[in-house]
Structure 1
Amino acid sequence: CSFLIYHLISNLVISVGEVTLGEGNRNKLQKTQREQEKAKVTQAACALLNSGGGVIRLEMANEDEHPVELGLDLEESLRELIQSLDLHAFFETKQQGRCYYIFVKSWSSDLFPEDRSVKPRICSLGTSLYRRSGTSVRLMDSREAFNFLKTKKRSPKILGKQPSSRVLKVRCQNPHNLDPAHRIFQKDQLEYGERLPFPESQFVEFKQFSTKHILQRVKDIIPEYVPAFANTEGGYLFIGVDDKSKKVLGCAKENVDRNSLREKIEKAIYELPCVHFCQSQCRINFEVRTLDVLAGGELYGYACVIRVKPFCCAVFSEAPSSWMVKDKHVRSLTTEEWVDMMMDTDPDFESQLSLSSGPPLSRPVYTKKGLEHKEDLQQRLFPVPPGHLQYTPESLWKELSSEHEGLEELINEQMRPFSQGILIFSRSWAVDLNLQEQQGVICDALLIAQNSSPILYSVLREQDQKLVNMGGYTGKLCVMTKVLRLSPESHAEPLAGSGSPIDYPTSYDLEDTQQMEALLQSLVIVLLSFRSFLSDQLGCEVLNLLTAQQYEIFSKNLCKNRELFVHGLPGSGKTIMAMKIMEKIRNTFHCEANKILYVCENQPLRNFISNKRICQAVTRKTFMKNNFKEIQHIIIDEAQNFRTEDGDWYEKAKSITQREKGHPGILWIFLDYFQTSHLVDNGLPPFSVQYPREELTRVVRNADPIANYLQKVMQEIIKNPPFNIPPGSLEMLREAQWAQGVPGNFEIMERSTREQIVTYVAKTCKLLFEKGYSPKDIAVLVSTMDYVEPYKHKLLKAMRKKRVVQVSDACDMLDDHIVLDSVRRFSGLERNIVFGIYPRTAESAILYNILVCLSSRAKQQLYILWHDDC
């Protein structure tokens, strides 16, 4: 149960050992000890703020028996972490005996009163980013750093490919001497006591060291001044010049070696962390000159000048002071990790969980326009009833009650103290959270009730942090655990580890319906989210939400639904469901990926699924050739386009999944008769015996103009279906629901020759790229493989004229190229923009089916180009 709780809610507890508490007690400490204790507490607090919240446990080093406060220095360090926001909004304290607890709520920049665009996503004690401000060096705070990095990221091309090569100009009062600093920089020697003809400025800094430890002092100042110049407009750092008198005093030759000084400076600069947003990976552009300082014609010592040019992106003095919990240990973030988290931004979609207001570890979650939002899904799946406690899902509760004698009495007894809320049952919350099922668990039940912290009950047979970091819940939250054993006497027996050893403040209780619904909406994100295909295009993880219809099918008890036919309309998410079910099979039955087989008709879809590493993936032809002795579970996708030319694939799949007597495997078959692309036998059993059967009628993929065209074409199929499609299978269109409000483009036009077609495609692609689209967004689909090669040569030629990118087939969808392939081979895949090239003489019996296949592949823009078969 503790394993499950860890993944459900952030109940992280960090023990930092002994700490002296109380203002008077802390004032008596030596400075070193006080700073060490403060560092332990602030590092733990920073890590928890950035990791979903939790608890810091301190052992009181002082002997006070009465309650004490933290101490002003500790409070000030915590306030510094949260950018001087209300301390109580993120931290609460409680003393229990000799233990002192600091309850830490997850960081959320949503509490900033100003515009979200200036809110840093993570907490830091220091950014390690410096900039010049007049004659000073300024350490940026988190908000300044966020704006600085955002500006650099938005326009890296200005300086991106090479550092600026312009000569630095130092503004001075003499208009006839525009760059005196550069003139001094080019010299070989200076006179001791010589006064330089310009003052310190934004572009010039003077430093003079009288100590013998010159090399160490130089090493100490490099990480501040060089990044400050590089992050601003560049400048000169003069070492050996007094900043007040502007006199050259140099470093005495007895105290410094010329070569050692240069090597020390260069080594210190090369060690500075740099982060790039541009394509260039260039290093800091600087030059070091060591000048002789003469006194009376004799060598007295040396002065040194470092010229720093503006850097294209960002230079740090060291890694930022920021921490996170990973693998139950507090560890510091690297510079790259810190920048990645600080600069995470939302993709431009209808957001369900925004990075700008979510906890640091949350990922962006969105739905297509026109689909249910998390609020709608929560009201449909987990409504909070007024004035009473509701058990849900009702059907599962009835099943569990009938299967396990005494369970109803046990649960009702536990619920007696609660008057309003919702008790959510699951056969395994572990599987629902994409974890392996826990052995010996009858069921889990999560209680969300008013005036109580959430409680997770695990009911055993006789003998994470996801709600915050994934669900985006920003309130104070702990989930209490209660492990119950259903005994023959039907009473609850709390087991070891049940409950929480820490007495949380009452502010962690859910006060009203609004707080309960906010938490349940985070639960919706946790349970219904899946990794979007868009993640592969953007290079960062983005989450989509399942529709309520998809979630209801996904939630089925696999042990009671070992075989299932899932009929889905085009764009209803059948392939997504197939992948989610394979993940659930793996967690429910504790099996490895090599025990699960995914079978489809075409190589491109096989390759796409194989890259997910959740199963073995093969085409139907390969499936019919091999034995697959280790396979226990089979998922069939796009089954309407299977064939029987190599044998009866359906009977083979059944025999494999049923060969272990008494323990049959899973056989789920996904299909869509509307997308049938041939006229031969598909090997499916008759439609009348395809039971049990579920239907996916919520269409989520296509923009409005494309969806409207699809509906018209599908009506034509219903009017005159091909002979190999059972008419009853098409009636599900009457139940179709189409997502509305998604803008897009649809065009259908005549082009008489191939040359005209490829010229139009190349020209349109060039315009799309100028608008910011990528080659990964585009697919060009032809009717059959016979047309691929003839079009490929002409298309490549036209693309070269327009200076457009590479063209290849669909076998590796993740490559940065335009796909050119047949409609049939692109089955099950999708791209934002699709060009469909189709001859007038195409097979008329399945013409509309092919048009459905073609059109449903396009998410945003669809261009259908008819031509004569020439």
Structure 2
Amino acid sequence: MEKHSRLAIKSSYSDLVINVGKVTLGESNRKKLQKVQREKEKVKVIQAACALLNSGGGVIQLEMANNDENLVEMGLDLEAALRTLILFSNLQVFFKTKQQGKCYYIFVKSWSTDTFLEDISVKPRICSLSSSLYCRSGTSVFLMDSGKAFSFLKTKKTNAKSSGKEPSREISKVIHPDLHDVDPTYCVFQKDHFERGEVMPFPESQFIEFKQFATKHIEQYTKDTILEYIPAFANTEGGYLVIGVDDKSRKVLGCAKENVDRDSLKKKIEEAIQKLSCVHFCQCQCQIDFTVKILDVLDKGELYGYACVIGVKQFCGAVFSGVPSSWMVKGKDVCSLTTEEWLSMMVDTDPDLRQLCKDFESQLSLSNSPPQSRPVYSKKGLEHKKDLQQLLFPVTPGCLKYTPESLQKELFLQNEGLEELINRQIDPFSQGILILSTSWAVDLNLEEKQGVICDALLIAQNRPPILYTVLREQDAEGQSYCTRVAFTLKQKLVNMGGYTGNLCITTKVLHLSPERSAESSAGSGSVIDYPSSYHLADTQQMEALLQSLVIVLLGFRSLLSDQLGCEVLNLLTAKQYKIFSKNLRKNKELFIHGLPGSGKTIMATKIMEKIRNTFHCKTNEILYICENKPLKNFIRDKNICQAVTRKSFMKYDFTHTQHIIIDEAQNFRTEDGDWYRKAKTITQRDTDCPRILWIFLDYFQTSHVEDIGLPALSAQYPREELTRVVRNADQIARYLQRVLQRVRKNPPRNIPHEPLKMCLEAKWARDVQGTLSIKKNLTLNAIVMYVADTCKLLFERGYSPKDVAVLVSTARDVKKYQQELLKAMRKKGIVCLTNANDMGGDHIVLDSVRRFSGLERSIVFGIHPSTVKAAILYNILACLVSRANQHLHILWQRDVEEEFQTKTG
């Protein structure tokens, strides 16, 4: 993005506020301005408005250059410019104005296309002053507005996707050299000269444009003409631009030879066309197909000068005359978008989930959300954002509710006077919800501030949202903290949560006096008086805002992002969120027991992000420990912690470590020492500083019969349970449930029986379609051919190698199957095979079930899930089954099934 430093964001507000400086307002006042000054002021306003429309909304602050004491209107030219940005929709939908003394405010709502465009098929994702895309219509050239540009680009993208390669379409007969017998234009343009005064035997048309040469600055005029007409022909159906012919009389006039150099003119024309920005939607990276011909113009047999004919074919993608005029806010600057950025955002659409993830339900679609939003999905059968909102943040008619109640009681009990202080603040409000948090900053992935007792977000009827920060004592930085949190919350509610209504968040800082009763701090930061349309008018508006808040608080980056090549969010379940939202200072140690596929590793990742912001930690101060290298590498690549295996943890000292998260703890062993004692020692080194030790485990997936090293179940306290399976399709989940029952009835000796009752409470998303295929009595060759054939079929349906894992029982089995599997794959044209250490590449993973613990793929092939230890056969099978999201194929090698039945009885 290119910066526009003359427009900067004011940082003392809880909203995006752009001060554009002095602007003359009022229709009569603006008419008196010189044209240059009027345009200069208009450009400042239009850039700021476009940037805010594309960046979640905000406020334009103007200083009135005129001395009117009475209220004045904006000015017709400014209003007209704003209308062009919003495709001539109702100006009041996106812009409200207010004059306060010499200050004039334009309140800008975020751009969205859900209810505001009459033509619902025209939904550009962003606003633009100019698309820089021209098209041909009849004998005219038009600059496409953002709506027409969106339709044009959408068609181009669809055509390229459906055909794989969209060649140049040669619709115009003037482009066809084989039609010279019926096409007079072909005959004319094959000549090497014209006679001056000669009349062209055909008029201007969709495919022909006549232009005269300029009298001065001939090469520059020609270049400017090319920037308009050549992209227009290329973006439509091709055609000819003829320079040197009068468009009314059709007479050849040419340009005198004394005024132009023939070779230089041709070179300049070719350079100008080659510099045009071309964007492709297909694999073909072809250039504009054009021909430049300089013809002599004769006058009574003598050379008078020259005419120019430029023929161009229809282009497969889009040809721009320049960089589109569109802006966004980036950091503290207003920046213009590059052509590539503009195009990417303009045609951005929801990912195609028909094949890969047809069982996901859209929670937020790009088709009706603000420009910077990303799509949000959840597994079908899990709570919808509306259900989560009703569960976590309910709005009760005629009632003002505090939530969460447990935190309310804790805060009021521990802070004398806090209840009185908060009740006094919210007493005037009769309906809504007050959402308490020990730190809204941490909830929004910001760093916590010391001295904050709590933050409270009030969503109440007939008021804009209010964020309260309660400090223990007066703090000069308190207001800036509250403003920064409110600013971040507002941006996320729109740009992440997809809220499309008018939105501002006001702030208020309170403090508790240590010696006397509770006091209210007057500080409320820089204040802008927003219009009443920014008030939440009714329950429907409050709930819509709270559903956006659900996405902000419960959203996390989905593993689908890597598979689809675009950013996609999923939502936590209500139970996951309740665990995640725990006060870390009150829950320094916690054991989380989760069924297979219940999202333990996702929880571990999010809790480390929360630790970092709560305790202001560096990456090397948070330690993630697991048993296997593939999972360690997967977490390490997220750059939120130091990740090690248990063996490395026992081998080295970790002097800088303050907090520890342990994942897949059921697979730990004590062969290298007491890992739990060492972790406890590290996190209890400093009793004055709270340090975190959270342990995630699943006894059902225990992969050995040795001592695990966990404390006795009675000592695993406090303890939480995750019983909702969120990973697996219905058929896979039901089969997993049967396997878990076998584990519960015949557990290995090294795990307690009591936690295994969790499987009786298991829940999963019903009717999520998937595949479970169990093949028995297969030879080794039949197994590898089945995997190869099935992969080829799946890849033809749109899956890719990075969706597939082939899992065997042991590392020895990996070596046994690798060569045979590669041979079978190569016969099908598939050669991408690697182990689980490389989860990020576009490869099929071949590894053992144990090493794949904690990871997942859409498609899993499990080859004869057996092991030498009969006691954990069903544990290994449970681990295998739970790795598959959509499709699971279990393949039994001949004689192995009998061995399995013998070992398990």
Distance 2:790 2:244 in 1: 62
Offset of 1:181 from its aligned partner? Answer: 4.2
**1:311-337, Cα deviation, whole Å (9 max, x unpaired):** 222111111111111112211111111
Aligned partner of 1:236 in structure 2 is 240
Partner of 1:721: 747
For 1:328-477, list aligned pairs within 5 A. Answer: 328-347=332-351, 348=353, 349-463=360-474, 464=488, 465-477=491-503
Query: In the alignment, residue 362 of structure 1 is paired with which amino acid?
Result: S
User: CA 1:7/1:838 → structure 2, altered by over 3 Å: closer, same or farther?
Assistant: farther
Change in 2 beyond 3 A, CA 1:279/1:210: closer
Equivalent residue for 2:803, pick from 747, 753, 777: 777
Q: Is the 8 A contact 1:10 1:54 kept in 2?
A: no
Shift of 1:159: 7.7
- In the other structure, the counterpart of 1:851 is 877
**Counterpart of 2:520 in 1: which secondary structure?**
coil
Provide the secondary structure at the position in 2 that maps to 1:527: helix
CA distance, structure 2, for counterparts of residue 668 and residue 8 of structure 1: 38
Deviations 1:831-867 (A, max 9, x none): 1111111166764322211111111111111111111
SS at match of 2:846: strand
CA displacement at 1:499 relative to structure 2: 4.8
Q: Is the 8 A contact 2:592 2:722 kept in 1?
A: yes
Q: Distance in 2 between matches of 1:727 and 1:664?
A: 33
User: CA distance change for structure 1 residues 630 and 182 in 2, over 3 Å: closer, same or farther?
Assistant: farther
1:45 is matched with which residue: 41, 46, 49?
49
Which runs of structure 2 are paired with 1:565-584 in the superposition (5 Å)?
565-584=591-610
> d(CA) in 2 for partners of 1:210 and 1:458?
67
Q: Is 1:151 equivalent to 2:155 in the alignment?
A: yes
> What's the counterpart of residue 302 of structure 2?
298
Distance in 2 (CA, whole Å) between partners of 1:795 and 1:6 is 61
SS at match of 1:356: helix
| Structure 2: segments with no counterpart, 5+ residues | 1-8, 354-359, 475-487, 897-905
Letter in 2 for 1:711: Q
Aligned equivalents of 2:845, 2:175: Cα separation in 1: 55
Structure 1 pair 198/757, CA: closer, same or farther in 2 (3 Å)? farther
Residues 201-235 of structure 1: CA deviation (Å, up to 9, x unaligned)? 32332221141211111111122212112222322
The C-alpha deviation readout for 1:636-679, integer Å capped at 9, x for no partner, is 11111112222222122222222234224211111111111222
Match of 1:289 in 2: 293
Q: 1:767 deviation in Å?
A: 1.1
- What's 2:732 paired with? 706
Distance 1:428 1:7, change over 3 A: farther
Q: Give me the whole-angstrom Cα distance separating, in 2, the residues matched to 1:36 and 1:649.
A: 68
CA contact (8 A) 2:203 2:250 kept: yes
- State the shift of 1:259 in Å: 2.9
Q: What is the alpha-carbon root mean square deviation over aligned residues? A: 2.4
Using the TM superposition, give the Cα deviation of residue 247 of structure 1 relative to its aligned residue in structure 2, in angstroms. Answer: 3.1
Structure 2 CA distance for partners of 1:749 and 1:117, relative to 1, 3 Å: farther
Question: Which of 499, 504, 519 is equivalent to 1:492?
Answer: 519
**Which residue number corresponds to residue 13 of structure 1?**
17
Question: Structure 1 residues 388-397 or 286-295, which shifts more?
Answer: 286-295
The answer on whether the counterparts of 1:775 and 1:805 sit within 8 Å (CA) in structure 2 is no
Task: Tell me what 2:213 maps to.
Answer: 209
In structure 2, the CA distance between the partners of 1:60 and 1:759, relative to structure 1 (3 Å rule), is same
Q: Give the number of aligned pairs.
A: 865
Q: Which moved more, 1:430-439 or 1:174-183?
A: 174-183
Unaligned 5+ runs, structure 1: none
User: Judging changes above 3 Å, is the alpha-carbon distance between structure 1 residues 767 and 35 closer, same or farther for their aligned structure 2 residues?
Assistant: same
Post-superposition shift, 1:296? 3.2
CA distance in 2, matches of 1:635, 1:560: 16
The secondary structure found in structure 2 opposite 1:724 is coil
Q: Indicate how the Cα distance of structure 1 residues 678 and 180 shifts in structure 2: closer, same or farther if over 3 A, else same.
A: farther
Indicate conservation of the 8 Å contact 2:12/2:526, yes or no: no
Looking at structure 2, the residues matched to 158 and 745 of structure 1 have their Cα atoms a distance apart, in angstroms, of 28
In the TM superposition, residue 719 of structure 1 has moved relative to its aligned partner by 1.4
Q: Which amino acid aligns with 2:316?
A: C
Q: Does 1:562 align with 2:592?
A: no
The 5-angstrom pairing of residues 859-870 of structure 1 reads 859-868=885-894
In 2, Cα distance between equivalents of 1:624 and 1:481:
49
* Alignment correspondent of 1:597: 623
Change (3 A) 1:52 1:210: closer
Q: Counterpart of 2:504? A: 478
- Give the 3-state SS of the residue equivalent to 1:118 in structure 2: coil
Question: How many Å apart are 1:165 and its aligned residue?
Answer: 9.2
Q: In structure 2, how many angstroms separate the alpha carbons of the residues matched to 1:285 and 1:109?
A: 36
Given that 1:679 and 1:722 are in contact with CA atoms closer than 8 Å, whether structure 2 keeps it comes out as yes
Q: Does 1:696 align with 2:700?
A: no
Matching residue of 2:136:
132
Match of 2:96 in 1: 92
Cα-to-partner distance string for 1:756-780 (whole Å, 9 max, x where unaligned): 1111111111111111111111111
User: Structure 1, residues 250-282: CA drift from partner, whole Å, max 9, x if none?
Assistant: 222222222332232233223322222223433
Shift of 1:310: 2.5
Distance, in Å, in 2 between the alignment partners of 1:8 and 1:185 is 65
Distance 1:789 1:8 in 2: 62
Q: Higher mean Cα deviation, 551-560 or 347-356?
A: 347-356
- 1:498-519: CA deviations, max 9, x gaps? 1552111111111111111111
2 CA distance for matches of 1:715 and 1:839?
17
Q: Residue 378 of structure 1: SS of its match in structure 2? A: helix
Contact 2:124 2:346 in 1 (8 A): yes
CA 1:161 to 1:390, structure 2 compared with 1: closer, same or farther past 3 Å?
A: closer
Q: Deviations over 1:95-125 (max 9, x none)?
A: 1111111111111100235575531111111
2:872 and 2:119 map into 1 onto residues whose CA distance is 55
Alignment partners' CA distance in 2, 1:23 and 1:279: 52
So what's the TM-score if we normalise by structure 1? 0.95
SS at match of 2:447: coil
Q: Percent identity?
A: 72
Once the two structures are TM-superposed, the CA of residue 686 in structure 1 deviates from its matched residue by 1.9
Partners of 2:370 and 2:11 in 1: CA distance: 15
Q: Is the 8 A contact 1:160 1:280 kept in 2?
A: no
* Partner of residue 61 from structure 1, selected from 60, 65, 77: 65
The one-letter amino acid paired with 1:16 is V
Secondary structure, counterpart of 1:110 in structure 2: coil
Q: Residue 461 of structure 1 aligns to which amino acid in structure 2?
A: R
SS in 2 for 1:238: strand
Q: Deviations over 1:158-211 (max 9, x none)?
A: 787685496963289x97624554555555443333334443332332221141
Distance 2:234 2:564 in 1: 30
Contact between 2:170 and 2:238, CA under 8 Å: does it hold in 1? no
The offset of 1:565, in angstroms, is 0.9
Whether the aligned pair in 1 keeps the contact of 2:254 and 2:307 (CA below 8 Å) is: yes
Determine whether 1:684 maps to 2:688: no
> Is the 8 Å Cα contact of residues 52 and 359 (structure 1) preserved in structure 2?
yes
Distance 1:740 1:532 in 2: 20
**3-state SS of paired residue (2:368):** coil
Hey, what does 2:478 align to over in structure 1?
none
Worse-matched range after superposition: 6-15 or 694-703: 6-15
Shift of 1:47: 1.0
Counterpart amino acid of residue 317 in structure 2 = C
The Cα shift of 1:91 comes to 1.1
Q: Normalised by the size of structure 2, how large is the TM-score?
A: 0.92
1:200 aligns with 2:227: no
CA–CA separation in structure 2 for the residues paired with 1:177 and 1:715: 82
When residues 182 and 449 of structure 1 are mapped into structure 2, their CA distance, relative to the original with a 3 A threshold, is same
Q: Can you list the C-alpha shifts for 1:740-766, whole angstroms capped at 9, x where unaligned?
A: 231111111124211111111111111
- Give the counterpart of 1:503 among 523, 529, 538: 529
The equivalent residue for 1:807 is: 833
